[in-house]
Amino acid sequence: MSSIQDIQNEIIEEFEILGEDKESTIYYIMELGGQLPKFPEEERVDENIIKGCQSKVWLATRENGDKIQYLADSNTDITKGLISLLIRVLSGRTPQEILKADLDFIDKIGMGNIIGSQRSNGLSAMIKQMKLYALAYQAKQNV
């Protein structure tokens, strides 16, 4: 499996191909969201909604040995695309890897300029929730 940094570098390269074309970039992000696996209906509960997002975003986890698998969905295509990028980078990692991850691809692809301040706040809330889950799993593993 590629490292977190390797996956971030792949994402950066993909977005570099799109150049400064904001419309194509947004379309690509929405396309990525369409590739997320189907979100389990039983996980579509209020406890799994990420607070701080303008759109509804559901985030759930599964344990896979010592690694965390993230599952997510959103009621908007662009937000679904954003969470899919985070899942691509962080899912299938140990809690320690997730907590140490410096998600520099977000700044390097200029995501703030692409999605605006409201969605940037939502993206930060998604990252925070993913790291909180990792922290909870780490605490559980250390018991």
Tokens 């996956």 sit on residue? 7
Q: What are phi and psi of 20, to 5 degrees?
A: -95, 10
Sequence-distant (≥ 6) Cβ neighbours of residue 110 within 8 angstroms? 15
User: How far lies 141's CA from each of 77, 107, 109, 127, 137, in Å?
Assistant: 35, 32, 34, 21, 6
Both tokens of residue 49? 């909604």
For residue 134, the SS3 value is helix
Tokens 């409201």 sit on residue? 118
Instruction: Considering the candidates 29, 36, 53, 127, report the single residue annotated as catalytic.
Output: 53
* DSSP state letter for 35: T
**Would you call 81 a catalytic residue per the annotation?**
no
Q: What residues are labeled active site?
A: 53
